[in-house]
């Protein structure tokens, strides 16, 4: 009854929210806009994703650095700030120095010998900067940016690019991601998928609470961290990147 999955010949890692913590920009925003750090962190990330989808859907592609900047401009406008170029530059550059998640290094050690790539919405320049800052560039055979095909995840063209770059059929590639839309897009294209469930349903429910108001970070987790109700299921679900090493076996 149970058909074994194809052998995993390469693993591709989502960057923002999977290897790198998009929440780690909060102190920078809080320092620049006191009292607004959490709010701005969440609305910026939400609009960044939204703009990536809208630009894809309207065939009006701009690269992820532009999308990130536009999303920041929108976010700042909601608190009455029309930011000048230097502030926008400085904050967008902070996106190239996001923290590596604490479980990434141990995982990379456990995956020595495997074919690994980064696969992200970010531009090649953004991704190379992130990986260099974290000191892990040499652990990846390839850095695959959707910028090559000028459309964002979860367009099928993005997943096709990743598989073709690695020279593998989709079923032999494992996408590792914490982003539900990414897992869904990959599953639709035939890839195997590993969901890093950093926030369990119980944890998210506890964070939401039952107050009249909600922390922006809690609303963000509610919106973004749970498995999407779009009809696909990940091949595997693990609580952290390090758990992935055992989950995929030898």
Angstrom distance (rounded) from CA 74 to CA 10: 38
Task: Specify the stretch interacting with its own copies by CB under 8 A; choose among 37-45, 96-104, 126-134, 136-144.
Answer: 37-45
Q: Is 70 near its own copies (CB under 8 A)? A: yes
Member of 211, 246, 249, 250 binding its own copies (CB under 8 A) = 211
Task: Specify the stretch interacting with its own copies by CB under 8 A; choose among 15-23, 116-124, 190-198, 223-231.
Answer: 223-231
Task: Specify the stretch interacting with its own copies by CB under 8 A; choose among 102-110, 113-121, 162-170, 216-224.
Answer: 216-224
Angstrom distance (rounded) from CA 96 to CA 23: 13
Task: Sort strands 99-100 and 20-21 into parallel, antiparallel or unpaired.
Answer: antiparallel
Q: How far is CA 74 from CA 18, 53, 77, 141, in A?
A: 25, 16, 5, 36
Pick 22 or 242: Cβ nearer its own copies: 22
Member of 35, 84, 85, 112 binding its own copies (CB under 8 A) = 35
Q: How far is CA 84 from CA 65, 69, 76, 222, 234, in A?
A: 17, 12, 11, 32, 43
What secondary structure letter does DSSP report for 137?
G
Angstrom distance (rounded) from CA 75 to CA 42: 9
Task: Specify the stretch interacting with its own copies by CB under 8 A; choose among 14-22, 92-100, 125-133, 229-237.
Answer: 229-237
Angstrom distance (rounded) from CA 215 to CA 229: 24
Q: Is 223 near its own copies (CB under 8 A)? A: yes
Q: Is 54 near its own copies (CB under 8 A)? A: yes
Site for its own copies in 90-149 (CB under 8 A): none
How many residues touch its own copies under the rule CB under 8 A: the total is 53
Member of 10, 216, 235, 238 binding its own copies (CB under 8 A) = 216
Angstrom distance (rounded) from CA 18 to CA 109: 17
Member of 10, 13, 45, 47 binding its own copies (CB under 8 A) = 47
Residue 14 designated active-site: yes
Query: If we measure between CA atoms, which residue out of 177, 174, 75 comes closest to residue 121?
Result: 177
How near is the Cβ of 155 to its own copies at its closest, in Å?
Answer: 5
Query: If we measure between CA atoms, which residue out of 248, 12, 4 comes closest to residue 140?
Result: 12
Member of 25, 26, 29, 46 binding its own copies (CB under 8 A) = 46
Site for its own copies in 146-165 (CB under 8 A): 152, 154-156
Q: How far is CA 112 from CA 23, 120, 203, 249, in A?
A: 28, 21, 32, 13
**Alpha-carbon dihedral 217, 55, 231, 247, rounded to 10 degrees:** -60
Residues that bind its own copies (CB under 8 A): 35-36, 38-39, 43, 46-47, 50-51, 53-60, 70-71, 73-74, 77-80, 152, 154-156, 181, 184-185, 188, 201-202, 204-205, 208, 210-216, 219, 222-223, 226, 228-231
Catalytic center residues? 14
């Amino acid at each position: 009854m149970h058909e074994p999955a194809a052998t995993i010949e390469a693993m591709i890692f989502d960057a923002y929210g999977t290897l790198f913590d998009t929440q780690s920009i909060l102190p920078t925003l809080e320092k620049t806009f006191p009292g607004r750090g959490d709010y701005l962190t969440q609305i910026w990330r939400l609009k960044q994703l939204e703009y990536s989808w809208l630009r894809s859907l309207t065939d009006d592609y701009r690269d992820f650095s532009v999308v990130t900047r536009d999303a920041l401009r929108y976010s700042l406008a909601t608190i009455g700030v029309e930011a000048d170029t230097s502030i926008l530059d400085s904050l967008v550059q902070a996106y190239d120095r996001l923290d590596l998640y604490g479980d990434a290094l141990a995982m990379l050690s456990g995956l020595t010998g495997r074919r690994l790539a980064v696969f992200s919405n970010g531009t090649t320049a953004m991704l190379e900067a992130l990986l260099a800052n974290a000191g892990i560039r040499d652990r990846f055979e390839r850095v695959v940016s959707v910028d090559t095909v000028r459309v964002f995840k979860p367009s099928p063209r993005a997943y096709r690019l990743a598989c073709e770059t690695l020279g593998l059929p989709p079923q032999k590639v494992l996408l590792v991601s914490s982003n539900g839309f990414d897992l869904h897009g990959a599953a639709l294209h035939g890839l195997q998928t590993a969901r890093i469930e950093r926030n369990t349903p119980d944890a998210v429910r506890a964070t939401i609470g039952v107050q009249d108001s909600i922390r922006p970070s809690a609303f963000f987790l509610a919106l973004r961290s749970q498995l999407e109700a779009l009809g696909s299921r990940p091949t595997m679900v693990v609580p952290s990147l390090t758990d992935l090493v055992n989950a995929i076996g030898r």
